[in-house]
Amino acid sequence: MINSALYYDRQSPGQGDRFLKAVEATEAAIREQPQWGQPGEAGTRTWRIRNFPFAMIYKEFPDRITVFAVAHFSRKPRYWTERL
């Protein structure tokens, strides 16, 4: 995620910070309404990160929410499945 933020910042100063803030906003939204994410395999859910080609992959448990990946839409599809 930090590498992505650095990449965005090289493309346009400040864009890296906007990316990190979008990730934080996504985390907050997931904490508020975890069931709103798109259902996926093995009980995971996917929530798109606004204005960036990334999604957060997570799973809700009775006592916590675990984020498995902040995944780019076109890089290494499904690489995160081995984390389940």
Domain range list for the chain: 2-83
In this predicted structure, what is the pLDDT of residue 30?
A: 97
pTM (2 d.p.): 0.86
In this predicted structure, what is the pLDDT of residue 77?
A: 66
Residue 52 tokens read as 């960036």
Neighbours of 48 (CB within 10 A): 15
Per-residue pLDDT, averaged over 44-62, amounts to 95
Neighbours of 52 (CB within 10 A): 18
Q: Which CATH number fits domain 2-83: 3.20.20.70, 3.40.50.970, 3.30.2310.20, 3.20.20.80?
A: 3.30.2310.20
Alpha-carbon distances of 82 from 3, 37, 42, 44, 70, rounded to whole Å: 21, 20, 11, 13, 14
In this predicted structure, what is the pLDDT of residue 41?
A: 86
Query: Model confidence at 54, in pLDDT bands (50, 70, 90)?
Result: very high
Query: Are the C-beta atoms of 1 and 23 separated by less than 8 Å?
Result: yes
